[in-house]
């Protein structure tokens, strides 16, 4: 069964100026809008616009002392709460009609299920020797990836291959492999001092693994 189209809460509380501008835009969209008159919006367009403008006005001095910080934080929370009330109201009153939602200057969701596809090439990791025979690998954010796997190895002629659900690692020279998965940044230790370490990375989503990155290398530092 397809999901019902709703008005998206497409703002972040820490994107202050954008948040204030979106509040004012929604207020404009609700003003005189025949789609949203009965019942009336829980927060009037005038009040919503004022809340958004207050966030914008207080933004330049938000860090000027404890009092300003508190006042600004309260304004952000108040604006957010007002927007949530009106966006939920818009979703309910629109009844799944995307055009009505957009007439209130909101972004409508879709009832079409997006089919995930296999990821492309994974970014090459940046490596940093940390001392104590440890190495850090850091990968730039990869669109669509839900998990990042880092593979460290010490034989430059190692062969590492990846298909959708399997990673294979072989070394003809007795090399070692260290694999860890999770976030974009990982640390691994236990390497031989003063020996070059190599690393490749691969992203993963619902479909499976993407394409392996190009390798990078760094020397290992001792304490």
pLDDT in tens, 57-109: 999 999 999 999 999 999 999 999 999 999 999 999 999 999 999 999 999 99
Mean of pLDDT values over 21-50: 97
Q: Per CATH, the architecture of 126-219 is what?
A: Sandwich (2.60)
Residue 184 · residue 146 · CB < 8 Å:
no
Return the higher-pLDDT residue of 193 and 158.
158
17-26, 127-136, 204-213: segment of lowest average pLDDT: 127-136
On the question of pLDDT at 38 being above 90, the answer is yes
Mean of pLDDT values over 23-29: 97
On the question of pLDDT at 3 being above 80, the answer is no
On the question of pLDDT at 221 being above 80, the answer is no
On the question of pLDDT at 7 being above 90, the answer is yes
On the question of pLDDT at 133 being above 90, the answer is no
Could you tell me how many helices (H) and strands (E) the chain has, helices first? 4, 9
Closest CA to 13 of 90, 65, 68, 82: 82
Task: Please report which confidence band the pLDDT of residue 17 belongs to, taking 50, 70 and 90 as the band edges.
Answer: very high
Task: Please report which confidence band the pLDDT of residue 30 belongs to, taking 50, 70 and 90 as the band edges.
Answer: very high
Q: What does the pLDDT read at residue 223?
A: 55
* Dist CA 63 CA 82 (whole Å): 24
43-52, 68-77, 214-223: segment of lowest average pLDDT: 214-223
Mean of pLDDT values over 136-160: 94
Domain boundaries, the chain: 16-103, 126-219
Q: What does the pLDDT read at residue 195?
A: 80
Which H or E element spans position 150?
A: strand 147-153
Closest CA to 198 of 170, 175, 217: 217
Q: What does the pLDDT read at residue 114?
A: 64
């Amino acid at each position: 069964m397809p999901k019902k189209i709703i008005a998206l809460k497409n703002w972040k509380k820490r994107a202050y100026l954008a948040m204030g501008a979106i509040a004012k835009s929604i207020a404009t969209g609700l003003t005189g809008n025949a789609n949203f008159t009965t019942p009336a919006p829980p927060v009037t367009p005038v009040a919503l616009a004022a809340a958004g403008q207050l966030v914008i006005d207080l933004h330049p001095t938000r860090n000027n002392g404890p009092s300003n910080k508190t006042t600004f934080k309260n304004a952000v929370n108040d604006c957010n709460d007002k927007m949530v009330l009106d966006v939920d109201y818009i979703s309910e009153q629109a009844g799944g009609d995307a055009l009505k939602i957009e007439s209130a200057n909101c972004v409508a969701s879709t009832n079409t299920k997006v089919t995930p596809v296999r990821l492309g090439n994974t970014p090459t990791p940046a490596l940093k020797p940390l001392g104590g025979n440890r190495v850090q690998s850091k990968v730039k954010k990869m669109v669509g990836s839900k998990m990042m796997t880092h593979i460290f190895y010490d034989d430059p002629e190692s062969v590492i291959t990846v298909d959708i659900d399997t990673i294979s690692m072989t070394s003809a020279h007795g090399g070692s492999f260290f694999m860890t998965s999770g976030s974009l940044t990982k640390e691994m230790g236990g390497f031989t001092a003063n020996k070059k370490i190599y690393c490749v990375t691969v992203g993963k989503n619902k479909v499976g693994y993407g394409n392996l990155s190009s390798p990078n290398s760094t020397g290992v530092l001792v304490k």
